[in-house]
Amino acid sequence: MSIYQHFRKEEHEFIDHVLEWKEEVQNQYSPKLTDFLDPREQEMVSAIIGKGNDVLVSFFGGVDWTERKRALLYPDYYTPTEEDYGVACYEIEYPQKFVTIEHPQILGSLMSLGLRRSKFGDITVGENVQLVVAKEIASYIEMNLESIGRAKVSLRPITAADLIHVEEAYIERSATVSSLRIDVVLAAIHNLSRQKVQPFISSGHVKVNWKVIEQPSFECQEGDVLSLRGHGRSKILTIDGKTKKDKWRISVGKQK
């Protein structure tokens, strides 16, 4: 039985990476640290590595509740410590009285430094703006991140214990859709027409489970986390079967 049949086609490339990591640990008999993984990728790594093997895996992103975490694959003799995960935490200091900065601006400024998204963990925007990064790029960010939007910023190192948890809140509601295509589902969630949603998809502004989806015909599944740029995040909580008119009943959560 092929491992690939349990996953979507667009996830097969990531599966290949995980199998390579596992083989590297087996061959070198030493730990392998990944970049930050989103929750779907963490789920896949856990499923592929499994339990009771000669290779084990654990995840860390600063504290237990972080969404994005680095994975450490290691031989069964090895006992990981927090240092092994190479995580650095910062508070972003800026003149809060005069300007506000938002998550997309922060991410855009970080990406403009020429770094991959996978080098950053959670970005938390609350009373304080906090950031988790891979330790190997920490000094580079400290030297080069000077502004976000119109705000001059500086980075103050903090410990993982200083990270503040901002709870993600969803508003639940039911919807009836003609199909489970991504354009149909997003149109229903955000009260938009399919014609308005489709350009977002073709422009790469829609993600399902943290991956860009560019086909309007992409079929959604229960548990999928959807992101539409400028409209926030939503989640398909349940797919409750079909109505007498052959439409799908779904329950969705929309981020507040």
Q: Could you state, in chain order, the average pLDDT of each consecutive group of 10 residues for the chain (256 residues)?
A: 78 93 95 96 92 88 94 96 96 90 87 94 90 97 94 94 83 94 96 94 91 92 91 92 95 86
pLDDT (0 to 100) of residue 60 = 97
pLDDT (0 to 100) of residue 52 = 67
Measuring CA to CA, which residue among 229, 228, 225, 231 is closest to residue 252? 225
pLDDT (0 to 100) of residue 228 = 93
How far is the CA of 237 from the CAs of 30, 64, 173, 175, 220, in angstroms? 40, 23, 10, 11, 11
pLDDT (0 to 100) of residue 100 = 86
**What's the CATH superfamily of 170-255?**
RNA-binding S4 domain (3.10.290.10)
Q: Structure pTM?
A: 0.79
pLDDT (0 to 100) of residue 1 = 57
Domain 87-162, architecture per CATH: 2-Layer Sandwich (3.30)
- Which CATH code, of 1.10.10.10, 2.30.30.230, 3.30.1370.160, 3.40.50.720, is assigned to 3-84? 3.30.1370.160
pLDDT (0 to 100) of residue 2 = 78
pLDDT (0 to 100) of residue 6 = 79
Measured at the CA of 143, the angle between CA 138 and CA 148, to 5 degrees, comes to 95
pLDDT (0 to 100) of residue 94 = 94
pLDDT (0 to 100) of residue 215 = 92
30-46 CB burial, b ≥16 within 10 A, e <16? ebbbbbbbbebbbebbe
pLDDT (0 to 100) of residue 170 = 81
Residue ranges of domains in the chain: 3-84, 87-162, 170-255
Measuring CA to CA, which residue among 183, 189, 167, 196 is closest to residue 236? 189
DSSP state of 96: T
